[in-house]
Amino acid sequence: MPALPSFTTSSFFNGERLVVLFFISLVLYSLPFSLLSHAFALSFLTLASLFLEIRFDTSNSLSLLHTRPGASSGILLGAVTLPTVILSKLIQLSRGLSLGEVKIEELQYLTLQYWATSASSLSVLILLSLSLWRPPFLRSDWNVRFSSCFLFFQAVVCCVSLVETSQGGLHPALQLSWFICHGLAAVKLIQHFLRTFPSCASIGEALLVTGGIVLYFGDMLLRTLEKLSRLLMSTELLSTEYGISRSEISTFTEGLLLGLLLYPLAFRYIIQIWEWSINTASSEARKYSEIGRSLIFFATLGLVMIVIAPSWMQFVQEFHMHPILWYKINMVLSFVFSEPVKRLSLCIYWVCVICVSVLRFYNISKNSKIERILLRKYYHLLAVLMFLPALIFQPKFLDLAFGAALAVFLILEIVRVWRIWPLGHLIHQFMNAFTDHRDSDLLIVSHFSLLLGCALPIWMSSGYNDRPLAPFAGILSLGIGDTMASMVGHKYGVLRWSKTGKKTIEGTAAGITSVLAACSLLLPLLASTGYILSQHWFSLFLAVTVSGLLEAYTAQLDNAFIPLFFYTLLCL
């Protein structure tokens, strides 16, 4: 007989799980009755991932998956974060719909996204559950059985919801096929990620990344299919043009990131062919292998960025000129020089801050004994100095800057990982000065998580947004709260949250207090620039406290999860 689960408080509820469960409870409490099926699906997903996480954390199964050493599995946190974020946006749009400020198509589009992210998490959890079922007779413990039952219930709720409603103009059968494709893609991607980058991420972190990438690529694929259906069959795949209209800058950013994310896969096979030809050549030819490899890299990267990615942009958006020329003329020149004093001044300010800060921090990292975790917090403060003024006075320009910065980061990381001559080694040396135990030689993610942590709340707040502080969620939680918690906790912290952890009560209190103080200064400033304030102080205090407690307890990459938690609670 399989052993019954041990429901002791210490083994079942740790700090991170309690914070996540309380976070889910707040979201479910705020749901309108029209989203009842979404509430059931999220509840079953939460319970399934909870029992599965307990099973993984109390066994040696994590070592088989090559996850990041020293981190818990993070399955609960990784599985529920994206669906909960989208559900909070659905709550927000439901308020806008009742006020006549949001179209029903926008709500349908976001509902499609919610079920897609749920399908991705569901499929990965099924994969993890199957990995724990052992012969003979497929015996397993009660945690896995409970998890499997809740996964089944969630799948049933999803199917029933699809039969009753048709989201985004898609037939229910097409929707079900679409969600199955999302699930299969998530499973294949997380397997590839953990196999290609061993010891670089926990299961929860990999779940968040793969769920986001699958959702992003699925959105772009559906746009492509919708355009193809209109051209080839003279009909629309979606009766609502996929829910929302897209701006040219949004399409340009999506196409650029699509090319950069897919490029390493193609470059890998090109390099394999190149290395095979070099190995069969003479020794004289092999001397120039590094130079040839570098030339191939820049030539193929240019092909992707100038030809392939812009071709997709032109297909789905119908630019009046080549997208690269459009970007240079309309977005860089016209956009910057339309308000030359403000935007040129902001660009000069950014360049000065980046140059001075990077040089200063790099010298400190080489010549000082300051812990790297504190050095990294200087970059969090740098994010506040750069992004906060721009978000208040030039939010559209900041959208453009975030897209360009993310593209540059991706290119630099590709150059570093592949050691492209002559920059690869130099970039690797520079980045190593700021890495810690959560990074590795294979993959450095801290700068991506900081940039995306600040950018995602801003991007998600485009369109209807009745919570003025929501776009600032990343900047406040990472740039101010996380930084103050680390600095105060490191210098003055005495009382620790747990015997094995390093986070202190003093640091957490300092982080929460600093964010509340920043909000008290920011809200009057936003009111003076025309924002209509609708954020209640009690809900704000709750959002700051929950995100602060998550920072104190989680063993996951907090740059990725804290801004999403804070943003979700601000939207409620």
Dump pLDDT digits (tens) for 28-65: 999 988 888 899 999 999 999 998 898 888 776 666 67
Dump pLDDT digits (tens) for 239-261: 444 445 677 777 877 888 888 88
The answer to whether residues 150 and 51 touch, using CB atoms and an 8 Å cutoff, is: yes
**Whether residue 292 has pLDDT greater than 80:** no
**Whether residue 387 has pLDDT greater than 60:** yes
Residue 76's nearest CA partner among 11, 182, 158, 147 is: 147
The length of the chain, given as a count of residues: 572
The alpha carbon torsion through 285, 289, 290, 296 (nearest 10 deg) reads: 120
Residues 6+ apart with CB under 8 A from 1: none
How confident is the model at residue 88, as a pLDDT? 94
**Whether residue 473 has pLDDT greater than 70:** yes
With cut-offs at 50, 70 and 90, classify the pLDDT of residue 208. Answer: very high
Answer whether the bond into residue 340 is a cis peptide, omega within 30°: no
The answer to whether residues 82 and 217 touch, using CB atoms and an 8 Å cutoff, is: no
Query: 395 vs 440, which has greater pLDDT?
Result: 395
How confident is the model at residue 4, as a pLDDT? 46
The shares of helix, strand and coil residues in the chain, as percent rounded to the nearest 5, are 75, 0, 25
| Average per-residue pLDDT for the chain | 80
| DSSP code string of 217-257 | HHHHHHHHHHHHHHHHSSS-SSTTSSSS---HHHHHHHHHH
Query: 101 vs 81, which has greater pLDDT?
Result: 81
Query: 209 vs 267, which has greater pLDDT?
Result: 209
For the ranges 108-117, 124-133, 264-273, 287-296, the maximum mean pLDDT occurs at 108-117
Answer whether the bond into residue 422 is a cis peptide, omega within 30°: yes
| DSSP code string of 70-117 | T----HHHHHHHHHHHHHHHHHHHHHHHHTT-S-HHHHHHHHHHHHHH
Dump pLDDT digits (tens) for 530-539: 555 556 778 8
Amino acid identity of residue 314, one-letter, is Q
Residues 6+ apart with CB under 8 A from 251: 313, 316, 317
With cut-offs at 50, 70 and 90, classify the pLDDT of residue 521. Answer: confident
With cut-offs at 50, 70 and 90, classify the pLDDT of residue 527. Answer: confident
For the ranges 149-163, 197-211, 376-390, 426-440, the maximum mean pLDDT occurs at 197-211
How confident is the model at residue 439, as a pLDDT? 66
How confident is the model at residue 202, as a pLDDT? 87
